[in-house]
Amino acid sequence: MNAYLVDDEPLAIERLARLLAEFAGVRIAGSATDPAAALEFLARHSMDVLFLDIQMPAMNGFELLARLAAQPPVIFTTAYDQYALKAFEVNSIDYLLKPVDPEQLQRAVRKLERFSAGARPDWMRHPDLPQWLGELGASLRAPAYPERISSRLGERVYVIELAQVSHFLAQDKLTYALAGGRSYAVDYSIADLERKLDPRKFVRIHRSILLNLDWADQLDSHFGGRTTVLLKDGNRTELPVSRDRVRALKDSLEI
């Protein structure tokens, strides 16, 4: 079986090549540390298996596959457990956690041999596969936003799930997270939080208020051009919306 290795770390390629040399049925046809060079090679040569790193800076593994006209059987290599499930979303032969363990590799090669002995599955010829791969590759490049925030009170630290925070409020030179009917002081300004948190969830509606859109229940326009947003919390909290931020809030709420 002709194999091609792609990894942006030369040492990782050297180690994998050394381990694959123990398998008589596998021939290394080439390797690349540059995904663009790998793409050029794979466009001209058909491989029996592609050993492919997932997380690479210029072009990740899913993005590389999305650009190929024909999909080769793939064994992904990754240093991160969280990418293992993503690897199986594209029905790869197997995945290997780095540094590659010889027993792991043996398991993957055995699976590859069984795969090669039979017909290729329908998913490898599915017309939507490049689109799925492209979306998966793009998802790896999406910024990672925090899911919780901490609040310190003396020697005690509270950990608050951001999904439970209806809004942040700046008041008396402090910033508070409002969650579960309580307020928690946090060590960030409203401007800091606006930069730090997911903009698809948290929108600044006032110079002193950052709103969690999931808690917005009702938008009201009042006489004189004043706008308020009513929350889903137990107190039915009403928050003011600055005139210059009404349009952005409506766009975020798809109104």
Question: Among residues 141, 161, 177, which one ends one of the domains?
Answer: 141
Per-residue confidence (pLDDT) for residue 118, from 0 to 100: 60
Per-residue confidence (pLDDT) for residue 57, from 0 to 100: 82
Residue-wise pLDDT tens for the chain (255 aa)?
999 999 999 999 999 999 999 999 899 999 999 999 999 999 999 999 999 998 888 888 889 988 988 888 889 888 766 565 555 555 567 778 888 889 989 998 988 888 766 655 555 555 666 676 767 667 666 666 889 999 998 889 999 999 999 999 999 999 999 999 999 999 999 999 998 999 989 999 999 999 999 999 999 999 888 999 999 999 999 999 999 999 999 988 888
Question: Among residues 84, 114, 141, which one ends one of the domains?
Answer: 141
CB–CB of 76/61 below 8 Å? yes
Q: What is the CATH number of the domain that holds 61?
A: 3.40.50.2300
Question: Among residues 141, 157, 189, which one ends one of the domains?
Answer: 141
Alpha helices in 61-123 (DSSP H): 61-66, 82-89, 102-117
Same domain, 81 and 166: no
Per-residue confidence (pLDDT) for residue 115, from 0 to 100: 77
**Can you give the C-alpha Rg of the chain in angstroms?**
25
Q: What is the CATH number of the domain that holds 170?
A: 2.40.50.1020
Q: Which domain holds residue 6?
A: 2-141
Count of structural domains, the chain = 2
Same domain, 218 and 103: no
Q: Give the residue from 62, 77, 56 showing the smallest Cα distance to 4.
A: 77
State the Cα–Cα distance between residues 60 and 3, nearest whole angstrom. Answer: 19
CB–CB of 150/158 below 8 Å? yes
State the Cα–Cα distance between residues 134 and 108, nearest whole angstrom. Answer: 25
How big is the chain, counted in residues? 255
